[in-house]
């Protein structure tokens, strides 16, 4: 049986604010399933801009931990308008 390497990365783009929670929850749930199989990675959820998010596993994050990063707000200094 091949060893699972823990590599998981997905990018989603939303058109409306109402899509964010549902789409992110689905992808984070998928990432959690992968993370449970590795037991060596945590999850990083990153907002890149107003409509784009990524979810990935990271060996730099403790297993069982999910970290949120907001690159867009830190760059523009304002609240999202979606």
Q: What are phi and psi of 13, to 5 degrees?
A: -125, 130
Looking at the predicted structure, is the pLDDT value of residue 6 above 70? no
Distances (CA, A) of 53 to 1, 27, 39, 57: 33, 10, 24, 14
pLDDT tens figures, 32-78:
999 998 889 999 999 999 899 999 999 999 999 999 999 987 665 55
Residue 1 has pLDDT above 50, yes or no: no
Q: How many helices (H) and strands (E) does the chain have?
A: 2, 4
Bridge-based pairing of strands 52-58 and 9-13 is: antiparallel
Instruction: List, for residues 10-26, the tens digit of each pLDDT value.
Output: 999 999 989 999 999 99
């Amino acid at each position: 049986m091949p060893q699972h390497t823990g590599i998981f990365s997905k990018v989603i783009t939303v058109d409306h604010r109402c899509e964010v929670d549902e789409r992110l929850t689905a992808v984070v749930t998928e990432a959690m399933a992968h993370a449970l199989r590795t037991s060596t990675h945590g999850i990083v959820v990153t907002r890149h801009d107003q409509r784009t998010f990524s979810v990935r596993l990271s060996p730099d994050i403790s297993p069982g931990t999910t970290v949120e990063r907001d690159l867009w707000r830190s760059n523009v200094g304002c609240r999202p308008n979606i």
